A = this chain, B = another copy of it.
């Protein structure tokens, strides 16, 4: 095992130092946000209700998954035993730390958003720029924690284990990924069950506006924004951040030794530095400036700092210090930079297919003239087309490193991981932009419910429109990075199993491919159904409260908000275990029954179809949403017209696709790949021993049975609620 050279030790110290600086910057921002003014008593009340609901949800969630985490920690410890004892211990601990970090990012993001929302609402009463800065900084806390904790965890594990670090880091990545999966699935189901349920009764049946305080589901809806958009997205990106690091370490060490591992850490450190400066610089130049321009300015500043930084390190460190030569320096720079190009391409595509000003959304809006059916069809068509371009983009991201490192395929695989590193360099800014969305959305809700001034509302509307855009952009980045991370993990799987081929000419591999392709559909089917079921429960409850408590409609009695929060929470929890089980156990089943080569086919199928469905769902969902907005802006008869009603149906169909099922696919494909990476050595070790082989098939069958139970579980008849108020 090679030790680090003195200069490398200095570099690593610098990397960890920057990671800690990022975390301190986040803490500094926390105090800055908390110091801001909270507004009226009514605003505080609402804010506290949201906060309480969100906290209750997360608490319940962590409790629900605790037993599974204990089982998995033990399983990871046992799986690590196949290597060495200290790896086994390290992997189990890293798993818990990864899960803890993911949880922290999610929890902090959510908690800050729910502290920030009321303060942003209050700031909007005096100044647009103050509101913008406060909202963006609230988001930045989340972003910098993701960045800082990710880099700190990865760097520390590397320093402790050096060339065996990836064995431990798999545990770290898996912990983060699993938690992200739970946050995404649970949060996604929660937010859309509440949202769809609230809209169905409120907007459609009773004709009251969104966020009307008489709607019993309104708090659940606002809580949903927090748990779904904030906690879920932060955990998701945190996980991609870690997982690209895992594969960069595995492939980088194989290709270039220590230098291959240290370089991506340096790139990341540059990213943290760039994000600190760029995010703090976000500020509107005038009170009427477009918020998007201010945010983009900050992003550009961060990008310039980061690119100059990693260009320098490519040439100085990879080219000179390591003596790998100038050519290698240019190559790693090219591969990392390709990630930035990829991010820009993804943004452009997202923009094209979902922007109000482009043809696809205009076509959907136009089709509303002939009713809801044509709106749905046109939206499907747009989403399906977007997947094609997204696939070409990903194909480009795979081919580019192959060209750059020609003819070395191993280095090319490392290049793919570097693209992932490059793409997620500005995670600080990306997550900040994303968390900005639900913060301003919530602030808008608080203003609506507290009946504040018209000017405040108009400032908030401007920020909210930008929030939708930033959310859509981050969604694109999240999918793109998830796929690149999955491809990098897939390459890591090939590297660690030592497979020289995964050939679809082998019928077992072909079958693996087919089953892998089916998993994203199974997952989507179950999560869509879960939202429907949850929304149905919410509808029944809100109707019941309106019917049984007459004071609510008159506004004299407050509805029982907690009841709806409770229903959403329970629905989300019920599905978590089933879906989590599917993600963890299907690769184990395929791996143990059909062996490691077929498992490779399975991974390829899951990545392919997962990517297609995720892009389709995100795109169609956003396009339907914006088609509705186009009409609300006055096209084809505007609000209340038949075309408007048609697009509202489109939007409601799109909601669970873009906010529940689609986003859940990102962590799912990463979890599947990580599980494969963990079990691969076990399968390979025992493969040639006939008696243990039988045991392994037994394990596989047991897992298949467990998946079956999970599917059955997720399809059970809806949980009937105990009536708390007698008739």
| Chain A residues in the interface with B (C-beta under 8 A) | 196, 200, 204, 367, 370-374, 376-378, 380-382, 384-385, 387-388, 391-392, 394-395, 398-399, 402, 409, 412-413, 487, 494, 499-508, 510-511, 513-515, 517-518, 521-522, 524-526, 528-529, 531-532, 535-536, 539, 600-601, 604-605, 608-609, 611-612, 616, 649, 652-653, 656
Given contact pairs A501-B501, A510-B604, A513-B608, enumerate 5 new A-B contacts (beta carbons under 8 Å): A200-B370, A381-B528, A381-B532, A409-B507, A504-B604
Which of A373, A487, A510, A611 is most buried by chain B, counting CB atoms within 10 A of its CB? A373
The A contact surface, by secondary structure, is: helix
Report 9 cross-chain contacts, Cβ distance below 8 Å, ordered by A residue.
A367-B532, A367-B536, A384-B521, A503-B504, A504-B604, A505-B600, A518-B612, A521-B612, A608-B608
Is there an interface contact between B502 and A504, defined as CB atoms closer than 8 Å? yes
User: Which of B388, B511, B525 lies in contact with A385, CB distance below 8 A?
Assistant: B525
Q: How far is the CA of A517 from the CA of B196 in the complex (A)?
A: 32
Is there an interface contact between B515 and A505, defined as CB atoms closer than 8 Å? no
Is there an interface contact between B612 and A384, defined as CB atoms closer than 8 Å? no
Is there an interface contact between A384 and B524, defined as CB atoms closer than 8 Å? yes
Which of A391, A536, A652 is most buried by chain B, counting CB atoms within 10 A of its CB? A391
Is there an interface contact between A384 and B200, defined as CB atoms closer than 8 Å? no
Which of A367, A370, A395, A515 is most buried by chain B, counting CB atoms within 10 A of its CB? A370
User: Which of B374, B385, B511, B656 lies in contact with A398, CB distance below 8 A?
Assistant: B511
User: Which of B388, B412, B487, B649 lies in contact with A521, CB distance below 8 A?
Assistant: B388
Is there an interface contact between B653 and A373, defined as CB atoms closer than 8 Å? yes
Is there an interface contact between B604 and A513, defined as CB atoms closer than 8 Å? yes
Q: How far is the CB of A488 from chain B (nearest CB, A)?
A: 12
Is there an interface contact between A391 and B200, defined as CB atoms closer than 8 Å? no
User: Which of B372, B385, B395, B653 lies in contact with A514, CB distance below 8 A?
Assistant: B395
Q: How far is the CA of A140 from the CA of B504 in the complex (A)?
A: 40
On chain B, the residues within 8 Å of A506 by CB distance are 409
Is there an interface contact between B385 and A653, defined as CB atoms closer than 8 Å? no
Q: How far is the CA of A698 from the CA of B502 in the complex (A)?
A: 30
On chain B, the residues within 8 Å of A385 by CB distance are 521-522, 525-526
User: Which of B372, B517, B525 lies in contact with A372, CB distance below 8 A?
Assistant: B372
Is there an interface contact between A521 and B616, defined as CB atoms closer than 8 Å? yes
With contacts A532-B377, A653-B373 taken as known, whether A507 is within 8 angstroms of B399 at the C-beta atoms is yes
Q: How far is the CA of A412 from the CA of B508 in the complex (A)?
A: 12
Q: How far is the CB of A533 from chain B (nearest CB, A)?
A: 10
Is there an interface contact between A372 and B649, defined as CB atoms closer than 8 Å? yes
Is there an interface contact between B522 and A384, defined as CB atoms closer than 8 Å? yes
Is there an interface contact between B507 and A412, defined as CB atoms closer than 8 Å? yes
Is there an interface contact between A529 and B612, defined as CB atoms closer than 8 Å? no
Q: How far is the CB of A168 from chain B (nearest CB, A)?
A: 25
Nearest B residue to A389 via CB reads B518
On chain B, the residues within 8 Å of A525 by CB distance are 380-382, 384-385, 388
With contacts A507-B399, A653-B373 taken as known, whether A387 is within 8 angstroms of B535 at the C-beta atoms is no
Q: How far is the CA of A169 from the CA of B409 in the complex (A)?
A: 39
Q: How far is the CA of A352 from the CA of B531 in the complex (A)?
A: 23
**5 interchain residue pairs of minimum CB distance:** A373-B652, A384-B525, A501-B503, A391-B518, A385-B525
With contacts A402-B507, A522-B388 taken as known, whether A612 is within 8 angstroms of B517 at the C-beta atoms is yes
Q: How far is the CA of A391 from the CA of B515 in the complex (A)?
A: 7
Q: How far is the CA of A515 from the CA of B391 in the complex (A)?
A: 7
Q: How far is the CB of A357 from chain B (nearest CB, A)?
A: 18
Which of A507, A526, A528, A601 is most buried by chain B, counting CB atoms within 10 A of its CB? A507
Q: How far is the CB of A579 from chain B (nearest CB, A)?
A: 13
User: Which of B372, B373, B528 lies in contact with A380, CB distance below 8 A?
Assistant: B528
With contacts A370-B539, A521-B384 taken as known, whether A399 is within 8 angstroms of B511 at the C-beta atoms is yes
Which of A504, A515, A539, A649 is most buried by chain B, counting CB atoms within 10 A of its CB? A504
Which of A412, A515, A518, A616 is most buried by chain B, counting CB atoms within 10 A of its CB? A518
Q: How far is the CB of A544 from chain B (nearest CB, A)?
A: 15
On chain B, the residues within 8 Å of A518 by CB distance are 387-388, 391-392, 612
Is there an interface contact between A377 and B517, defined as CB atoms closer than 8 Å? no
Nearest B residue to A391 via CB reads B518
Nearest B residue to A396 via CB reads B511
On chain B, the residues within 8 Å of A507 by CB distance are 398-399, 402, 409, 412-413
With contacts A505-B500, A601-B504, A608-B605 taken as known, whether A528 is within 8 angstroms of B372 at the C-beta atoms is no
With contacts A200-B370, A502-B504 taken as known, whether A656 is within 8 angstroms of B388 at the C-beta atoms is no
Which of A380, A399, A402, A539 is most buried by chain B, counting CB atoms within 10 A of its CB? A380
Nearest B residue to A497 via CB reads B505
Which of A196, A378, A506, A649 is most buried by chain B, counting CB atoms within 10 A of its CB? A649
On chain B, the residues within 8 Å of A384 by CB distance are 521-522, 524-525, 528
On chain B, the residues within 8 Å of A524 by CB distance are 380-381, 384
Is there an interface contact between A536 and B501, defined as CB atoms closer than 8 Å? no
On chain B, the residues within 8 Å of A394 by CB distance are 514
On chain B, the residues within 8 Å of A611 by CB distance are 514
Nearest B residue to A200 via CB reads B370
Is there an interface contact between B371 and A204, defined as CB atoms closer than 8 Å? yes
On chain B, the residues within 8 Å of A539 by CB distance are 370
Q: How far is the CA of A385 from the CA of B370 in the complex (A)?
A: 30
On chain B, the residues within 8 Å of A529 by CB distance are 378, 381
On chain B, the residues within 8 Å of A600 by CB distance are 504-505
On chain B, the residues within 8 Å of A649 by CB distance are 371-373, 376, 649
Is there an interface contact between B501 and A200, defined as CB atoms closer than 8 Å? no
